[in-house]
Structure 1
Amino acid sequence: MSVDEQLVKDAIKGDDSAFLRLMQLYKIDLYKTALSYFRNEEEAIEAIQEVTYRAYKNLKSIRDTAYFKTWLTRIMINYCNDQLKKNKRIVLGEEILNKQGNEENHTRMELKDAMLGLDDRSREILMLKYFNDMKIKDIASTMKCPEGTVKTWLNKALKALREKLEQKGGDLHV
């Protein structure tokens, strides 16, 4: 049993300090996930606060302590998708638009723009794989589907992303 799993078990038993340590361990991953959805630092921080509350409230619903990070990431993704649907908007971060137009920022902006043009599932699967460095089996667990399905969806998402970038005449190769 890993240290993380022991912390999860302790947190489920009511050890608040164990829960806080877990949240400290995963706050950067949660922040990156929220930021990739909202493109806004304040909304990302607010998302972490809300997800922390939801995770704490539903801590006893964890079935497998080994998948705590996956469970937490799923809560964040659901929250972000709900917020975007609720507000019917996608925010391009002002900090990206205000940066100098150097090639790296231009390429990053092209990639983010292309990602925003994908369907929710494709964007989600690419985020989990490439922004959160999750393994296929963890993505399958998060999305509650077989690994083979994840691989198929990932290939389709990459193809769609490649097409979006080519339409924009981007130099980025996926």
Structure 2
Amino acid sequence: MSTRDQIKKAKKGDEKAFQQLIQEEKNKLFRIAYLYVKNENDALDIVQETVYKAFISIKQLKEPNYFSTWLTRILINCALDFIRKNKNIIPFAEVEDTSEERQPIEEKLDLVEAIRKLENPYKTVIILRYYKDLTIKQIADLLNCPEGTVKTNIHRAISKLKLDLKEECIK
């Protein structure tokens, strides 16, 4: 059965069809959520919240061809909500870590860590462009903003990543 047929069945209330659609997307969803929160359990919570929201609002999906994009948009919103809610919480591991051991430079040069430090608009465009391989137009449609804004955000994010990674090399 094609994905389009599964989406149509899911929109009509077929839970099994919806479950199969989620099975196909779950790994991508987890990877994106993990890039936002850098914690496996939190990423799983975000994916679970995304699946729930998608399930209760599947009937609102207008174009079946954009199911993956629609689902990604829900995930991004859930991740950003999660980050906002937990902004002032300091993980216990960070409070406890008072060791003065230095990490080797190779461990500091972590692109994922540098992406995690980016502000949300920049983090979002980098993830969508380079992890989901979306075009500038697709990202603009997904985020409901002009293509120029997406290009600017990508350029600024890359500049910031270069600067951050360069600073890490100098330390």
Fold similarity call, TM over 0.5? yes
The answer to whether the 8 A contact 2:34-2:40 is kept is: yes
CA distance 1:84–1:138, change in 2 (3 Å):
same
C-alpha displacement of 1:9: 1.6
Deviations 1:146-170 (A, max 9, x none): 3333222212211121122222227
What residue in structure 2 maps to residue 138 of structure 1? 138
Count of residues paired in the alignment: 161
1:127 aligns with 2:127: yes
The answer to whether the 8 A contact 1:40-1:91 is kept is: no
Deviations 1:9-61 (A, max 9, x none): 22111111111111001000100011111211111112211111100011111
Mark the structure with the bigger radius of gyration.
2
Could you tell me which runs of 5 or more consecutive residues in structure 1 were left unpaired when the two chains were aligned. 95-100
What residue in structure 2 maps to residue 164 of structure 1? 164
Deviations 1:47-78 (A, max 9, x none): 21111110001111112211111111111111
Secondary structure, counterpart of 1:54 in structure 2 = helix
Deviations 1:102-156 (A, max 9, x none): 7765432xx2332233211001110111122223232122101233332222122
If the length of structure 2 is used for normalisation, what is the TM-score? 0.82
The answer to whether the 8 A contact 2:109-2:169 is kept is: no
Deviations 1:68-98 (A, max 9, x none): 1111111111111111111115889x8xxxx
Task: Name the CA distance, whole Å, in 2 between partners of 1:87 and 1:40.
Answer: 13
The answer to whether the 8 A contact 2:105-2:169 is kept is: no
What residue in structure 2 maps to residue 49 of structure 1? 48
CA distance 1:66–1:102, change in 2 (3 Å):
farther
* RMSD value, Cα: 2.5
Task: Name the CA distance, whole Å, in 2 between partners of 1:35 and 1:89.
Answer: 19
Task: Name the CA distance, whole Å, in 1 between partners of 2:90 and 2:70.
Answer: 25
What residue in structure 2 maps to residue 81 of structure 1? 80
Task: Name the CA distance, whole Å, in 2 between partners of 1:23 and 1:104.
Answer: 36
The answer to whether the 8 A contact 1:51-1:75 is kept is: yes
Task: Name the CA distance, whole Å, in 1 between partners of 2:146 and 2:163.
Answer: 26
Q: Which residue of 106, 109, 113 corresponds with 1:107? A: 109
Secondary structure, counterpart of 1:6 in structure 2 = helix
